[in-house]
Amino acid sequence: MGEIIVKIKNEERIQAIKRVLEKRVKEYCDEIGQETFLNSLPSAIKKEIIQTLDLEVDEPKGYTAAILEEAESIGQEYFFSTFSTEKLAKFALSCGLDVDSLSQNVLVECLMNLQSYKAPKKKPAPKPSKKKA
């Protein structure tokens, strides 16, 4: 029984250390700027980040820009997805976009790409033939 308690306490301690480390890295990154922070990282770490984000960047010189672009895109997507579909539709309209959908995913995608969307017309179901085979 004591073994389990020690494992749980160690896990809680590890989680607390991770939270403190995350906070300190974020504060440092905010202090010096994201681009400066990323440029200070070794290329191997940036390459791991690129792979984790499923980005295709061949040139190590492009790692920082690709990571920053993807982070901005993820942030925008998260921001837009916090709004109701009605508010997203009104915002899209105020941006001059014609979005023929009340799907939150479609509205967010249209706002992120600043593109209008027309729902594809449904084809009528084929009528069954009267001939017997």
- pLDDT tens profile 1-14: 556 556 667 788 88
The predicted pLDDT at position 36 comes to 94
Confidence of residue 93 (pLDDT cuts 50, 70, 90): very high
Calpha distance 104→90 (Å, rounded): 12
Of the two residues 3 and 57, the one the predictor is more confident about is 57
Residue 3, classified by CB atoms within 10 Å of its CB into exposed (0-12), middle (13-18) or buried (19+), is: exposed
The predicted pLDDT at position 132 comes to 62
- Contact between residue 108 and residue 77 where contact means Cβ atoms under 8 Å apart: yes
Domain boundaries, the chain: 2-83, 84-120
pTM: 0.64
